[in-house]
Structure 1
């Protein structure tokens, strides 16, 4: 079988709010300024990542699924999505705040854009002192009071701000208002979708265009979840050499695995691909008598046909993602 643990070549995205940490902290290889996103594994049309090494070098994920079908993604995923890959994996570096935004549900995204919706999660990898995320509301609002806050310039007053630190995790279902604040670098796991409704952008001008960015006020009003929660942050524990749940959604599952020493992961009963995202430290992945080194800021795709791998590290944290 030609399949093996795959590293894809990232795609780097200019963003008005992008910084330098993807280069200086995660050692990504690019020369441009204001790179805010590294798309690690993508099947977005026009932005497909390709295999970076080995006999499959240069192939897109879609072409691999066309050739190897369920051996790449698993029977359940192949039956549900065909040759479309359901997830998009990114690293994000916010030097200045992202716009305040919301994503539509699967149903609305299909109807309006012929796209998947965008349920997503964040895992904070680095956070400067007092860096914040905006997630949800801090008080009960309805459509009318939300529109009033937006028109009067008081929208920030009704949004929930959390000061964050390394390891903080948030699940962002469709409809939940959110924004990444200045000084945060994180890993993002999301459905394959690039549909974002921007509701507030600090009236800033994009140097690349000389214009303010488009807002999607009317589209957003109908998709926002106006409910309020006591806490939006995910609670979890992280014992050594164990698999600990972060997100268990219909769209993806994400666990965190702390590797100290050596551990074997058996996927023979799992009908899915597995993606490893190294968020701290470095480790060796052993499969079929070959060792693959994974360092902080690297992502590895395990085709569904791989039944087991061994992980070795003195101390590493890995996000484990599957369908």
Structure 2
């Protein structure tokens, strides 16, 4: 089986805060408020299937079983559950998300086989004045936060940041956070669906009932002394060079601008994921070429070797450290 860049059929998720903005990437959406497109996933709650080439129709879990070591690389498996270690999403936030926090891998109340969730956001688009919640105010303790929650004053404890396209946010497990209305986001994260809600604006879910909160779990996993979260502007000084956006124990994510042919290479340790943010171009390798467009997310097998990005486009590159 000769390796080639894999494109997947996204798993679309309806969310009370979602909309229809993912249609701008040419994606077909089911009816409803679509908040998440799981673009590359190998999780019980969503497993994507290949839509191009010889492996078309196979799920990422089947690719793992048949070609895992060759395609994913020696580091390309979760040590905890053996699955593909990352989950790649596009998020359309037409309304505010719940204020939430994610556990780390070691939290003893995680479901069996589930991972913690360290993640990062790259803002693809943002309406003027769009905001996110990003961390606690300095000095907030567990006791103070619990009192604020009980008194319906939690927003007084949270930092709010205005965002624009090109902003990048690293969100280690234990970071209190929430995307706000009016942002379109690429999310790279551990392969996890574990979210604890602290506050949800007293709104009703898609079923017409209040959505569940997870106050005790949230208070348990928050990193009150700081989680290592960081954010940055990502303007690029020149083309065909990588700017590191996040370097975590679970993934490295970089941003680059393609202006002329950019020759790259995989290693036998890790796959590479490319998210096409804007522009147009192609991926060339020894046995073929694919035309790529914004919103597409490609899994480059670890054993592909040399490949070339061409055209004029902004791309994210993620791999295992």
**How far, CA to CA, are the matches of 2:78 and 2:286 in structure 1?**
28
- What's the counterpart of residue 270 of structure 2? 272
- What's the counterpart of residue 188 of structure 1? 187
- What's the counterpart of residue 153 of structure 1? 152
- Match status 1:98 vs 2:94: no
**How far, CA to CA, are the matches of 1:127 and 1:64 in structure 2?**
35
Question: What is the 5 A alignment of 1:190-229?
Answer: 190-206=189-205, 208-227=206-225
- Match status 1:316 vs 2:299: no
Confirm or deny: 8 A CA contact 1:135 1:176 kept in the other structure: yes
- What's the counterpart of residue 294 of structure 1? 292
Change (3 A) 1:81 1:311: farther
1:80 CA drift (Å): 3.8
1:66 CA drift (Å): 1.4
- Match status 1:9 vs 2:6: no
**How far, CA to CA, are the matches of 1:96 and 1:79 in structure 2?**
33
**How far, CA to CA, are the matches of 1:4 and 1:76 in structure 2?**
19
Where 2:92 maps in the other structure, the secondary structure is strand
1:138 CA drift (Å): 2.4
**How far, CA to CA, are the matches of 1:112 and 1:244 in structure 2?**
34
Long gaps (5+) in structure 2? none
**How far, CA to CA, are the matches of 1:38 and 1:158 in structure 2?**
31
**How far, CA to CA, are the matches of 1:184 and 1:86 in structure 2?**
26
Given candidates 305, 315, 321, the residue that maps to 1:307 is 305
Question: What is the 5 A alignment of 1:238-277?
Answer: 238=236, 239-267=238-266, 269=267, 271-277=269-275
**How far, CA to CA, are the matches of 1:242 and 1:62 in structure 2?**
33
- What's the counterpart of residue 282 of structure 1? 280
Where 1:7 maps in the other structure, the secondary structure is strand
Confirm or deny: 8 A CA contact 2:70 2:268 kept in the other structure: no
1:53 CA drift (Å): 1.8
Give the structure-1-normalised TM-score.
0.94
1:282 CA drift (Å): 1.6
**How far, CA to CA, are the matches of 2:70 and 2:120 in structure 1?**
26
CA RMSD of aligned residues (A): 1.8
Change (3 A) 1:171 1:303: same
**How far, CA to CA, are the matches of 1:8 and 1:148 in structure 2?**
45
Confirm or deny: 8 A CA contact 2:97 2:179 kept in the other structure: yes
Where 2:116 maps in the other structure, the secondary structure is coil
**How far, CA to CA, are the matches of 1:232 and 1:134 in structure 2?**
13
Give the structure-2-normalised TM-score.
0.94
Question: What is the 5 A alignment of 1:77-96?
Answer: 77-78=76-77, 80=79, 83-96=82-95
1:78 CA drift (Å): 4.4
Change (3 A) 1:299 1:43: same
Change (3 A) 1:189 1:107: same
1:83 CA drift (Å): 4.6
Confirm or deny: 8 A CA contact 2:174 2:227 kept in the other structure: no
Change (3 A) 1:297 1:145: same
**How far, CA to CA, are the matches of 2:78 and 2:204 in structure 1?**
44
**How far, CA to CA, are the matches of 1:140 and 1:11 in structure 2?**
40
Long gaps (5+) in structure 1? none
Where 1:67 maps in the other structure, the secondary structure is helix
1:302 CA drift (Å): 0.7
Question: What is the 5 A alignment of 1:97-136?
Answer: 97-108=96-107, 111-114=109-112, 115-136=114-135
**How far, CA to CA, are the matches of 1:162 and 1:271 in structure 2?**
37
